[in-house]
Each structure stands twice: as C-alpha cells, then as structure tokens.
Amino acid sequence: MSLHDVDGTGSRLWRMSKRFDFAAERIIPDPLVFCMIFTIIIFVAGVAVLGTAPMTMAQYWYDGIWSQAAFAFQMAFMVVCCAVTARSTQVSRGLDLLAKMVRGPVAAVLLLMIFGYLASFVNWAFALIVTPVLSMALSQRIRGLHFPMLIAAGYSTMILGQCLSPTATIYALLAGDHALADKIGVLPQTVTTYNPMNIVIWVLLAGLTTLIAMMTRPSEHEIVEFNQEIEAEPVAEPDAGEIEGSIASRLNSSRALMWSIGTLGLVMILFTIVQDGLFSSLSLNFVIFVFLIANFFLYNTPTRFISAYRDNLKLATDVMIQFPFYGGIAGMMAKSGLATEIVGFFTSVSTANTLPFLTYLSSSLVNLFIPSQGGQWIVQGEITVDAALQTGANLPLIVNAFVYGDEATNLLQPLYIIPALAVVGMRLRDVWGYMAFLWSVWFVVTSALLLAVPLFF
C-alpha cells in the first residue's frame, strides 16, 4: 500500500498520525493544567498508596517547587536570549541562505532533521530553540509545509539526538567522578554513548524518524502553513524626555559600550573552551551565555539591546510558571519513595535479557513526573545499577535504555516543548497528536531493539 497521497486524504502515515488528534483536541489541556493534574495524581498516590501523611506530601511539594527556582530562571532566560538572537537581522539573513539550499517540502524536512540532530549533538538547549526558528524560515520560503509537524519533528531531533550526544547528562556524569563510581567505576563515553549496540539502535531510530517526517504528508486542504512574517528586530524608540546629543543620549547609543562587554564575554567563551574542551564546556549556563554575548554584537547599542529583550520577555511566561510546579512533582515523587517503588517493581521481575527493556519502561514512566535526566538518575540510578550487577546484564546497554526511556516520553510530557512553542506562538494541542504518533513508533521499535540487539553482540 502506498505511503503517498493517492486519493486526496494525505499519505498513509499522515492518516495514521491523525488518529492521535482525538486526544490532542478533546483530552490534552493547556500545559499548565497538565502539570496541575500531575500534581494531584502524585499527591493522592503518595497518601493513598504509600500512606504518607498529607501534610508531609504537601511539604515535599513545597520544597520541590523552590528547588527548581534556578532552573526555571535558566530556561526562561534561555528562551528570551535565543528568541532575541533569532529575530536579529543577521541571523534572519543566515537562515534565509540555509533555507534557499532546498526547493521542495521533502528536501526541507530532510534539512531540518539533519540540522536538528547536529544541533542536539552540540547541546539540547541550542537544538530546542534553533529548530523552530529554522522551521519558520523554511515555511516562509517553501509552500506545502505543514508547520505543526515541522515543529514536532524538529523537537524530536533534540530528544533523540541526546541519546547519542556527548553532552547528555548521564553520559557526561558517568564519565567523571560520580556517586556510583565505587560500584561501577568511571565509564568513558566510548563505553556508554558510543558502544556498538547504542550506535545501531540510534541509527535505526534516527533513520526511521527522518523517513516518517519526510513521508508524513497531509492533504492539500489540511496543510497549516506558517503565514506570519518572521518578526524583524524591534526598532528602539528614543526616550521622549531624552535630549538629542546629550551625554545620556550618547551613552544609550554607544556601540563602544556594547562591543566592550561583548568582547569581554567573547574572551571568556574562548577561554572556557580552551580550558575545558568544547563538549565539556557546553553546560546550560554556557549555552545561554553564548546567546547573550552574541546579542551584544547583533544589537549594537544599549537602547536596541534592551528593547529587543523587552519585546521577547512575554515568551518566558509559561516556562517561569510551569517549571517550579514540575519541581514540586519531582519532590513528591523522590522524597515519598513513590519513584523508588515504581523502579523497584520493574527491576524485581527482570532478568539479564529483559532488564534493558524493563529499564526503558520504568524510565519512560518516571520521566512523566520527573522530567529531568539528572534528577531522575538520582532516584533511579542506584536501583538500576544494582539490578544490572545482580542479573549480569550489560551495564552500558542498561544506561542506554535509561536514556532512551527518559528522552522518549518527552514527546508526551509537555515541559520541554513549551520553550519551542513559545518562540513560534503555538499551543500544545497543535503539535501533541503528531508527537504522540512518533512516541508510539519509538516505543514499539525501541522495545524490540532493546530485546533483540543484545543477541548479536
């Protein structure tokens, strides 16, 4: 049966993906409601299942909220800095040149997917923002692109790319001095990230995901194009009370000030890379700092710089509100022991052959409520490692299975898609159906690979 549109209803893959729209349209609420429901579920589970006192659960929730205050600011500031960079004249021209490299929808999707994977290898936060920006540029120049699918497909490259990225939290953690080193030693990334089994699994998943993105074509009347103009950088209006030619006016328009701070930042960027190496330097703070310093050169007067940030601050609203709530959920999951109970159940019924698959399942489930790879490893890592040692399972593959599970349900869990949606002004329900479709494919394929691949190595 053809995967192409032969009867005006879109390709077969498109029709399959539309079956998930019922949830996006009728069930999936706005992201804020999503995390409120999760909060109630975990609170009730802690009280009813584990017998934790309600006030104790409330304290876990409260403490967890404030544990994420710094991360919430980081993510919000990242969204604003990256959006300011994306709206600059110089970046818009660069994206124009990149978009002009392709002519048709299929080639445009292929370019987006390759670009997204490469960006994710560098850093997940960078990929999260630049893929929707490139999607806007492509949609402005190529007709027939379904914009919601572009956003979801680009987002999937960020998620999957982390499973083979040297900057992924767990791979980087285990390669250094870590809490479980006395049990498993230091695991270099040649063992965890780049072992042959992981490379095979990743290549097959990435190839399949790219093919699905290229072949999922809606009918002509169902295509939702990005029709807005990509906003140019804002024109800074002079202060009405400012006297032209005054010292204040000259300082507000000073390029020397901007270039001085920008140069200082550039020196620190280069120094950090030389001192720590490129990949070791790519922390979340470092990536945000790179965008911040770039904006000192892209907006070369203080007035233009601050005007650009004022215009983009609204994009950070959802992030600032929702990230602390997920911190509260993680606090209840971890401190009540609920996460440990979930993981313990899966590991207790495992064998050496089934542990990779069951680790994938447990990691996928826990990630819905603790959407932080590092935070999830704190809860799940030691139990998982102990199970691997007891059953004689392949430890690097167990680590890989944990990472795939942690990343996969980010297609269902809306936390990390929020910044990307904010940049392009879209709602979760616009993209969730296609994301859920991709997750269902990943779930089947990854599960099969985790059970089958070890038989050949």
Q: Mind listing the pLDDT tens digit for each residue in 228-279?
A: 654 544 545 555 455 666 788 888 888 999 999 999 999 999 999 999 887 6
Around 99, how many Cα atoms within 13 Å sit in the side-chain half-sphere? 21
- Tell me, what's the pLDDT at 48? 94
Tell me which residues of the chain have a pLDDT lower than 70: 1-8, 22-26, 28, 227-245, 279, 282, 284
Q: How many residues does the chain have?
A: 457
Angstrom distance (rounded) from CA 321 to CA 325: 7
Angstrom distance (rounded) from CA 287 to CA 82: 10
- Tell me, what's the pLDDT at 262? 95
| 85, 150, 175, 274 from 125: Cα distances, Å | 14, 18, 21, 21
Phi first, then psi: give them for residue 367, nearest 5 degrees: -60, -25
Q: CA angle, corner 92, sides to 87 and 97, nearest 5?
A: 165
Sign of CA pseudo-dihedral 373, 375, 376, 380:
positive
Domain chopping of the chain, boundaries:
12-234+314-456, 247-313
Two tokens at 128? 């999260």
- Tell me, what's the pLDDT at 375? 78
Our measurement of the distance from residue 278's CA atom to the centroid of its chain's CA atoms, rounded to an integer in Å, reads 20
Burial of 456 (0-12, 13-18, 19+ CB in 10 A): exposed
Angstrom distance (rounded) from CA 72 to CA 368: 18
